[in-house]
Each structure stands twice: as structure tokens, then as C-alpha cells.
Amino acid sequence: MTTYNAKELPASIKMPCYACGDLQATHVCRYQVGDLKVQVCLCVQCMKMDTEDLLKNTLGIDDSPKANAPDYLTV
């Protein structure tokens, strides 16, 4: 399960958006995927991106259930 929280950044903080890198980040967004906590700064456009797409394509986190790894990969 994924939870989401966003807070507006002060205008004095000049930081590029983590997702697109083109626009200035306007919000700090916090996601919790299971036990994993992730915080990223995003622009208004990228905040509208589907959460699943953002996690998977931008952050490299796949929240979908996975099949068990083959026995030879487990420790």
C-alpha cells in the first residue's frame, strides 16, 4: 500500500523538480510504500503524475506484488 503527503516549499528554495528536472520544484512529496519512506521535490506538473507511474518510472520502485524469486536467488 502507498500513502502520500505533500507540503508546499517556500518560494526562496530554488530546486529543480526531481522528476522532470526542467521546472522548479514547488512541493516536497512524501510517499510510504510498505516500510519504505521516500521524499522527493516535485513541480506542479509532475505532482499530477499518476503515483504508480512516478514510483515505477521515476523512482524505480515497483509497488505491484511480485512472484517469488527462484530458489537459487534466495539466501
Tell me the pTM. 0.73
Question: According to the model, what pLDDT value does residue 3 have?
Answer: 65
What count of other Cβ atoms lies within 10 Å of the Cβ of residue 47?
17
Domain ranges of the chain: 2-59
Q: How many CB atoms lie within 10 A of CB 18?
A: 18
pLDDT tens per residue, range 13-53: 999 999 999 999 999 999 888 888 889 999 999 998 888 88
DSSP, collapsed to helix, strand or coil, labels residue 7 as: strand
pLDDT tens digit sequence for 46-73: 998 888 888 888 888 876 555 444 544 4
Q: Which residues, 6+ apart, have CB-to-CB distance to 58 below 8 Å?
A: 18, 19, 40, 46, 49
Count the Cβ atoms, other than its own, within 10 Å of residue 51.
15
